């Protein structure tokens, strides 16, 4: 694709040779003359000068240079757009593979593709242009919105509702029973999980992620939510719009995460905790049961606490060896001035000095 065409389709302007052919994309240090790369911030300007990239996507304040460039307010976002143009995904042909098993009452929209060895339970509905790739298991009375892509070996239990333009990656399990048990006569008995799962539009769910059905009611995932690989959302959680959760994070039952919160990797959140809008949970932190993380607040550590407080405590811990040495020096100075402290005389066990 020519630079001129690429810039036009991105809605941006270019400088330099608009007829140059761009056939791929790469990082700044590895890009060749046929590749496009982007300069994310000023700290990469020097690296960009030595890059062999055929075209750079740069910010508006990037210095003018004798090379081919596309300018954008957000170079990273523009680069993402260029990747979609340079590496278009090949959609499977519409139709149902011979080895797929479709139960009675299933409704398939226009141009739906169902790949080999997939099963779809009775009374389920797939919207227009939905792609279900090989080996998926879709239960009864499932709803999947138009333009969604279900990657190989995804399992969707009965009664799950998924919005439009969803992307669900391999191995994800949606609608399995929540972890609900009650003690009866010294044994754990299953608490029936009879609720459901409802997922909004434009949601992406990573590989091997799990979203449990509610015990009663619904586990809710809002619009635009992005879940990384191996994220676990337990029963009755409510995830607001545009929430981002990184890999290996687990939410216990009944957790509420409000709109636009950001949760790092390997975070653990206890039962019925609330993460308010715009809060940021640093990687590896732990939120205790019923804890509230306030709106817009960045927290870190276990138990999770405000980032400033966490950093101050971390700095104090780092200074402990130095503090110990200083205390020993002070003790030695006092001993030199006053002499060593007198130790109390010990009495042999069983002897009373006051006894006759």
Rg for the chain, CA atoms, rounded:
30
Structure tokens at 263: 């949760």
Q: Are residues 144 and 282 in the same domain?
A: yes
Q: What is the CATH number of the domain that holds 39?
A: 3.40.1390.10
The residue out of 308, 324, 344 marking a domain boundary is 308
Q: Are residues 18 and 42 in the same domain?
A: yes
Q: Are residues 237 and 296 in the same domain?
A: yes
Q: How confident is the model at residue 47 (pLDDT cuts 50, 70, 90)?
A: very high
Q: Are residues 190 and 256 in the same domain?
A: yes
Structure confidence at residue 315 (pLDDT): 87
Q: Are residues 229 and 114 in the same domain?
A: yes
Q: Are residues 163 and 37 in the same domain?
A: no
What is each CA distance from 279 to 59, 295, 312, in whole angstroms?
A: 28, 5, 20
What is each CA distance from 17 to 69, 78, 139, in whole angstroms?
A: 9, 19, 54
- Whether 109 maps to a domain, the answer reads yes
Which are the catalytic amino acids? 235
Q: Are residues 264 and 124 in the same domain?
A: yes
Structure confidence at residue 306 (pLDDT): 87
Query: Is pLDDT of 308 > 70?
Result: yes
Which residue has tokens 């969707």?
A: 156
Domain that residue 159 falls in: 95-308
Structure tokens at 273: 């905790």
The residue out of 290, 308, 326 marking a domain boundary is 308
Question: What is the C-alpha end-to-end distance of the chain, expressed in Å?
Answer: 108
- Whether 164 maps to a domain, the answer reads yes
Structure confidence at residue 343 (pLDDT): 64
The percent of residues above 90 in pLDDT, for the chain, comes to 82
Q: Are residues 269 and 157 in the same domain?
A: yes
Q: Are residues 246 and 137 in the same domain?
A: yes
Q: What is the pTM of this model?
A: 0.84
Q: Are residues 185 and 303 in the same domain?
A: yes
The residue out of 41, 64, 86 marking a domain boundary is 86
Q: How confident is the model at residue 352 (pLDDT cuts 50, 70, 90)?
A: low
Q: Are residues 129 and 256 in the same domain?
A: yes
Q: How many domains, the chain?
A: 2
Q: How confident is the model at residue 263 (pLDDT cuts 50, 70, 90)?
A: very high
Average pLDDT along the chain: 93
Q: What is the CATH number of the domain that holds 271?
A: 2.160.10.10
- Whether 157 maps to a domain, the answer reads yes
30, 28, 84: which is closest to 57 by C-alpha?
28
Q: Are residues 116 and 215 in the same domain?
A: yes
């Amino acid at each position: 694709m020519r630079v001129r065409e690429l810039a036009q389709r991105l809605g941006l302007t270019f400088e330099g040779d608009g007829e140059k052919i761009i056939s791929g994309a790469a990082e700044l240090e590895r890009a060749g003359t046929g590749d496009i790369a982007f300069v994310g911030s000023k700290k990469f300007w020097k690296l960009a000068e030595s890059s062999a990239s055929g075209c750079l996507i740069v910010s508006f304040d990037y210095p003018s240079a004798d090379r081919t460039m596309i300018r954008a307010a957000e170079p990273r976002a523009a680069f993402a757009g260029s990747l979609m143009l340079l590496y278009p995904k090949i959609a499977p042909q519409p139709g149902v593979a011979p080895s797929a098993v479709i139960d009675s009452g299933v409704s398939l929209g226009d141009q739906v593709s169902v790949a080999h060895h997939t099963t779809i339970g009775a009374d389920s509905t797939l919207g227009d242009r939905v792609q279900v790739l090989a080996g998926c298991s879709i239960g009864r009375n499932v709803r999947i919105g138009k333009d969604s892509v279900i990657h190989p070996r995804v399992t969707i239990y009965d009664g799950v509702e998924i919005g439009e333009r969803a992307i669900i990656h391999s191995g994800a399990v949606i609608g399995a029973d929540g972890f609900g048990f009650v003690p009866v006569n010294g044994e754990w008995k299953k608490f029936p999980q009879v609720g459901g799962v409802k997922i909004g539009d434009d949601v992406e769910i990573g590989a091997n992620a799990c979203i449990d059905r509610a015990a009663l009611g619904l586990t809710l995932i809002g619009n635009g939510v992005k879940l990384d690989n191996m994220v676990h959302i337990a029963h009755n959680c409510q995830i607001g719009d545009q929430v981002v959760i990184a890999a290996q994070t687990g939410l216990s039952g009944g957790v509420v995460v409000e709109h636009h919160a950001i949760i790092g990797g390997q975070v653990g959140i206890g039962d019925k905790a609330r993460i308010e809008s715009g809060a940021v949970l640093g990687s590896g932190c732990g939120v205790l049961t019923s804890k509230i993380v306030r709106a817009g607040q960045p927290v870190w550590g276990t138990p999770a606490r405000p980032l400033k407080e966490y950093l101050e405590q971390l700095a104090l811990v780092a200074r402990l060896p130095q503090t110990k040495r200083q205390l020993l020096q002070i003790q030695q100075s006092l001993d030199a001035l006053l002499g060593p402290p007198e130790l109390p005389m010990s009495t042999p066990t069983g002897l009373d000095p006051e006894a006759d």
